[in-house]
Amino acid sequence: MSLILRQLAVGDLKPLSLEIAPGEILCLSGASGSGKSRLLRAIADLDPHQGSVWLEGTEQSSVSGHCWRNWVRLVPAESQWWFETVEEHFPADKEQDLSALGLKQKMLKSPVSRLSSGEKQRLSLARALAVAPRALLLDEPTANLDPDATEQIERWLLQSIRAHQWPVIWVAHDPEQIARVASRHYQLKADQLREVSHGSD
């Protein structure tokens, strides 16, 4: 399924149209405050916005909010936790395998307050994909990770994205990461989206 934005406008951003094909990773960069997170929030329908968003033939407004967010999964830069232990945040009916993220299985039993920011970030990605979405919006998914963990998470994400053929918008700052994962690269600048061609900038 592809993710399609038609004349989507939120806040100061100029209306933009985009189509992200199944399995395609669109990397989004731009200075902080340029509206990257606002854009992702609008696509997930967390903020009021103009224009329309489609998942293949289904328009955002034709299904309920929770149903849409169940399909189009936004993983925020800073993860939120509301129960005592990690495990309670995951669906109860499924075994979780954390080994691919470089985390120990017993971490599921530990209290959230004892996790490092890197562990929280990895666990929030695992939590977001525990119930399979149909499209993925990643807001700096490796911001708090060291180079080794970053590589591991990238590999895990790329594998999952290819296996499920999700259309993905991936907010990233590191040019090397963008070069590694992006199918296309766009930059948000002066309230506009510009495509950055490969090889330059």
Partner 1 sequence: MEVIDLAWWQLGLAALMVVALAICSHLVRLGVEKSLLIAAVRTVVQLSLIGLVLEALFATTALHWVALMALAMLLIAGREVTRRQKRRLTGGWGFGIGTLSMFLSSFAVTILTLTVIIGPDPWYTPQYAIPLLGMMLGNTMTGVAISLDRLTETAWQQRAAIEGRLMLGQTWQQAITDIRRDAMRSGMIPTINAMAAAGVVSLPGMMTGQILAGSSPALAVKYQILVMLTITVGVGFGTLAGVTLASRRLFDGRERLRMDRLV
Determine which residue in the list 32, 33, 48, 113 makes contact with partner 1, applying CB under 8 A.
Answer: 48
- Told to check if 74 binds partner 1 by CB under 8 A, we report yes
- Told to check if 80 binds partner 1 by CB under 8 A, we report yes
Determine which residue in the list 22, 23, 108, 127 makes contact with partner 1, applying CB under 8 A.
Answer: 127
- Told to check if 65 binds partner 1 by CB under 8 A, we report yes
For residues 37 and 50, give the distance between their C-alpha atoms in angstroms, rounded to a whole number: 16
Determine which residue in the list 17, 64, 105, 165 makes contact with partner 1, applying CB under 8 A.
Answer: 64
**Between 82 and 190, CB nearer to partner 1:** 82
For residues 11 and 85, give the distance between their C-alpha atoms in angstroms, rounded to a whole number: 36
**Least distance in angstroms from the C-beta of 45 to partner 1:** 6
Neighbours of 37 (CB within 10 A): 19
For residues 175 and 66, give the distance between their C-alpha atoms in angstroms, rounded to a whole number: 34
Stretch that binds partner 1, among 23-31, 64-72, 98-106, 108-116 (CB under 8 A): 64-72
- Told to check if 141 binds partner 1 by CB under 8 A, we report no
**Between 45 and 140, CB nearer to partner 1:** 45
For residues 83 and 11, give the distance between their C-alpha atoms in angstroms, rounded to a whole number: 33
In angstroms, how far is CA 10 from the centroid of its own chain? 18
Beta strand pairing status for 135-139 and 184-189?
unpaired
Determine which residue in the list 4, 29, 38, 73 makes contact with partner 1, applying CB under 8 A.
Answer: 73
Angle at 127 between CA 65 and CA 84, to 5 degrees: 100
Residue 5's DSSP bridge partners are: 18, 53
- Told to check if 9 binds partner 1 by CB under 8 A, we report no
